[in-house]
Amino acid sequence: MGSCKIWDYILVGGGLSASVVTHRLIESNPKLNILVVEAGPDASDRPDIVWPNSTNLVGGDFDWAYNTVDQQWLDNRQVDMPAGKALGGGTVINAGGWVRGDKVDYDLWGSIVDDERWTYEGLLPFMKKSETFWDKRINPTQHGLKGPVSIQSVTSTNREFPLRDHVLRSWGELGLSPLEGLDANAGTPLGIGELQENKKDGRRQIASSVYPLHGATVVTDTLVEKILLERKGGKLRAKGIKLANGTDFRGSNVLLAAGAIRSPQLLMLSGVGPADELAKVGVPVLLDQPAVGKNLSDHGLFAHLWNVKDPSAGWAIGSGNPLFEQEQYGWGGPMDFLTTTDVCKEGLAAAIEEDEGVAPDPETHPLLSGPRAFAEHVFMYAGAADGSKVTFILITLLPTARGSVKLASASISDPPLIDPNFLGSAVDRYVAREALKTQLKFATSTEVGRDILDRELGAPGFDQVFTTNSTDEYIDARLRAGLGTSFHPMGSLAMGSVVDTDLRVKGVEGLRVIDASVFPVPITGHLQVAVYALAEQAAEIISKGA
């Protein structure tokens, strides 16, 4: 493999999107010369990552282990930001939740960029193409049965938990209903859906394994320093890449697939980005593009633990319940359901007015004009080795605050400055507070709260614990002290501002971005589903020569 060779396609990053696009391009034309360069190793056969109880995931060997800058609305804390560093990217270390999000998000995306291919209906064929759903009878128009990614559920693996019916009835007491077929992946997730995961009999589905890279040249443990750009006839064009070790590779097309943190960093180090930011670190400006690195968002995550009144009843993992010794109970997350909720629109309107300075029109404002998937509730039957505790997790799905990725230096070896701006809007603070109140009602006032749970454990630095009488001030303080990331960064090279609807970087020929950084709006799902669909469509667009 010599540096003088001209590759048809060079993919920067070997994660989820790169695996899909590479596989599909070679499938459509086996004669293509494709180079994939991944900073991490090939971990596909590592036994310490492929099972749900693996210990080498977040914080392990295959994690970039980023940190944010001080978060103003989180008591100026820095937050850990895990990201997959291996062939397969985030699919090597993620939890495996298979969650599409709300149809409304995708339709807003398509509307913003004025291209129906990026609406829900436009992406649905590619969502279906990527998956093998376990039951052809459940929402058959919404699911694929022949895709590379195997999907499992709690019932498909025969691992219903003892608390299942109690939890279902308790959500019902709060006015929430089960979705048809308990399927939250049919475009309308508001309500109660059964946990779905991209696992096969519990085994992790790594993107580079289920979309094999046969026919491509794959280089691992190799860091790309920048994209090589040249200007001819007044036009800027990508001509290849430069590695951190000084080696150059030439290519007719460069596909940037390094994720929502590394992709904007690489683009800026290559001379494309906000001129003032590049000048600060001494990077020559080839194209002043102010939107590069802007529009970053991430789903916040907040966890709190609750005591079980009678651990010997066998409700939680570790309690000694012989049911949990059956193999399939180790095949997925210790929960039955994911529950998705909206928030009260009256309070939401007041928060919007605080952020935007004018009273919103409830008929036209996108957050008010219809139901939205603001929060995901995960009631997990685990929290202590002896089965004496359970965990409640809140995921804020629809942030309105936007953050940024900026250069810390002109070196690729230095992580960029990552600012998700968690809870950075009045809307985000209102949503987190109100969603947490819903969880407190569940944990204290429903069947589960009355009969099974005792009290919340509290948190270091706080004298009180959560109750239904907790004040807004106390709830806000706990959120500031404890909220972190769901590992879902997106939007930092947004479609419409940085890339066009064919994923081409505006102002640069021969360069596209094919990862979650192109999402112009937050997707209220766990991002791998949307990225699989994005990558499937990207491969089709590229194959057709758009």
Please give the average pLDDT of every successive group of 10 residues along the chain, which has 546 residues: 82 98 98 98 91 85 97 98 97 97 98 98 98 97 98 98 98 98 98 97 96 98 98 94 97 98 98 98 98 98 98 97 97 97 98 98 97 98 98 98 98 98 98 98 98 97 96 98 98 98 98 98 98 98 88
Token representation of residue 238: 């990508």
Catalytic positions are 488, 526
Alpha-carbon span 10 to 7, nearest angstrom: 6
User: What domains does the chain contain, in order, with CATH numbers?
Assistant: 1-49+57-96+205-293+490-546 (3.50.50.60), 150-203+300-396+423-482 (3.30.560.10)
Annotated binding residue 283 = no
Closest CA to 34 of 185, 219, 186: 219
Task: Render pLDDT for 273-317 as a digit per residue (tens, 0 to 9).
Answer: 999 999 999 999 999 999 999 999 999 999 999 999 999 999 999
Q: Pull the structure tokens for residue 248.
A: 């150059």
pLDDT for residue 457? 98
CB atoms under 10 Å from CB of 541, counted, come to 18
Q: Which of 446, 445, 444, 447 is nearest to 455 (CA)?
A: 444
CB atoms closer than 10 angstroms to residue 368: 16
What are the E-state strand segments in 309-463? Answer: 337-341, 375-380, 389-396, 404-406, 417-419, 453-456
Dist. CA 262–CA 256, nearest whole Å: 9
Q: Is 272 exposed, middle or buried (0-12, 13-18, 19+ CB in 10 A)?
A: buried
Cβ-based neighbours of 110, under 8 Å, separated by 6 or more = 116, 117, 118, 119, 120, 122
| E strand or H helix that includes residue 307 | strand 300-308
Cβ(394)–Cβ(485) below 8 Å: no
Distance CA 86, CA 64 (A): 9
With vertex at residue 354, the alpha carbon angle to CA 353 and CA 357, rounded to the nearest 5 degrees, is 65
* CB contact at 8 A, 329 and 319: no
pLDDT at position 546 is 60
Which amino acid, 79?
Answer: V
Residue found under tokens 């789903």: 299
Q: How far apart are CA 430 and CA 329, in angstroms?
A: 36
Amino acid identity, residue 401? Answer: A
Place of tokens 């940024």: 404
Predicted local distance difference test score (pLDDT) of residue 1: 47
Task: Report the chain's C-alpha Rg in angstroms.
Answer: 23
Residues 196-206: b if buried by 16+ CB within 10 A, e if exposed: bbbbbebebbb
**CB distance 267 to 493 below 8 Å:** yes
CB 537 within 8 A of CB 285: no
pTM above 0.85, yes or no: yes
Separation CA 455–CA 338 (nearest Å): 22
Residue 403, amino acid: G
pLDDT of residue 153: 98
The token duo for 279 is: 């000048």
Q: What letter would DSSP give residue 254?
A: E
Q: What is the dihedral of CA 338, 65, 86, 22, to 10 degrees?
A: 70
Contact (Cβ atoms closer than 8 angstroms) between residue 203 and residue 72: no
Q: Measure the CA angle with vertex 116, ends 113 and 122; round to 5°.
A: 125
Tokens of 185: 């992946």
